[in-house]
Amino acid sequence: MTGSEHELIDGADAARVAGRLVHPGPTAGRREIEDLVTSLRRAAGRAVAPVVTITGLLPADGRDLSTVPLSTVRVVDRARWARSGAASMAAMTSGALRAPSGRPVPLVAELASSAEVGAALAFMSTKILGQFDPYATAPGEPGELLLVAPNVLQVEREMKVRPEDFRLWVCLHEQTHALQFAAAPWLTEHLRTRTQELVRGIGDVSMTPWQTTVRVGSFVRAVYAAVRGREGAPLIDGLLTPAQRVTFDEVTAIMSLLEGHADVAMDEVGPSVVASVRSIRAAFDRRRAAPAGRDGVLRRLMGMDAKMEQYRGGAAFVRAVTAEIGTPGFNAVWSGPQTLPTAREITDPIAWVRRVHG
């Protein structure tokens, strides 16, 4: 491979670094692990019907969800999630991470940037309970739902919640994401395009390899976190051009919508579906609000708390619009890019209602 063929971040290199750095997580006996995997798969299947009922959405391709899955379910460990995350990032940014004007990328910069992103993925792999990935499968096929078994086990032990209830609650959130992308198939490419607009041209190979590494690693890590439903790093503010800031705010508004909608769905199923749903939500919010010690420092350094308010705002947007015009009126949001809320409308739901519904 010549220098000009390199991208600023190599997904395979990032995946290798992440796989080596990942901590395996809590220990469990073979029987407990087998039961956990079976339980998570069962929960993913059970989550589909309640999600359809609550959201009022159906896949745009007309598939029969009693025979065709909403998503391809994989129960994985942390290392496999990190490798999948690197592959997903590569799929989303393919072709957009080359140096401007066709100049060669210094190999040392590529390797260092890939290592930084791999390290970030390794840390994130210890926090993710589940993730729906529409980029992991071929177009037209159900996306992939990854359930990170050691993290689910660790969190339910720490919170002392009912395991079966907690696993179903997690799957309700992720299957809501699967249904969002199935009901609005244009969304996958829309997010990919916006992500590529963000990262295109960020590399300036006239900088030193170290400067390139710091800029590229920080930028791509933050953009990937935002697009995957995490929180963008605070350092991104100093790296964006005005045009990129507009696109980043647009992407953040979309993710606020997706995450808020999924949060509402997982809570609104009620005790008839998840008996301890209210106590789970209370315990989960307490845990999320107060990360302790070294973990809390790392979360803040990576920016993983910076946008939490926006995701709460996403849920508030969904509830406000639904209260105003009902679920069918809210579901106009999935009609196309033109009906997505803007960053301003996420905090002013009635402005979205007036624009879209008149």
The DSSP bridge partners found for residue 72 are: 144
Query: How does residue 180 score in pLDDT terms, banded at 50, 70 and 90?
Result: very high
pLDDT of residue 108: 59
Q: What CA dihedral angle connects 120, 84, 114 and 230, to 10 degrees?
A: -40
- 238-290 residue pLDDT tens: 566 777 778 888 888 898 899 999 999 999 998 999 999 999 999 988 877 76
pLDDT of residue 201: 53
- 305-330 residue pLDDT tens: 544 565 678 999 999 999 999 999 99
Q: What is the largest CA-CA distance in the chain?
A: 61
| Residue whose pair of structure tokens reads 């006996």 in the numeric block | 29
pLDDT above 60: residue 115: yes
Considering the chain, what percentage of its residues have pLDDT values greater than 70?
75
- Percentages of the chain per state (helix, strand, coil), in multiples of 5: 65, 5, 30
pLDDT of residue 327: 97
- 61-104 residue pLDDT tens: 999 999 999 999 999 999 999 888 888 877 877 766 665 555 55
Average pLDDT over residues 139-159: 94
Say how far apart CA 231 and CA 237 lie, in whole Å.
13
Considering the chain, what percentage of its residues have pLDDT values greater than 90?
48
pLDDT above 80: residue 5: no
pLDDT of residue 232: 42
4 vs 141 pLDDT, higher one? 141
Q: What are phi and psi of 234, to 5 degrees?
A: -60, -30
Q: Domain map of the chain by residue range? A: 11-287+301-357
- 328-355 residue pLDDT tens: 999 999 999 999 999 999 999 999 999 9
pLDDT of residue 6: 58
Over the chain, what is the mean pLDDT?
Answer: 82
191 vs 201 pLDDT, higher one? 191
Query: How does residue 122 score in pLDDT terms, banded at 50, 70 and 90?
Result: confident
293 token code pair: 């010690």
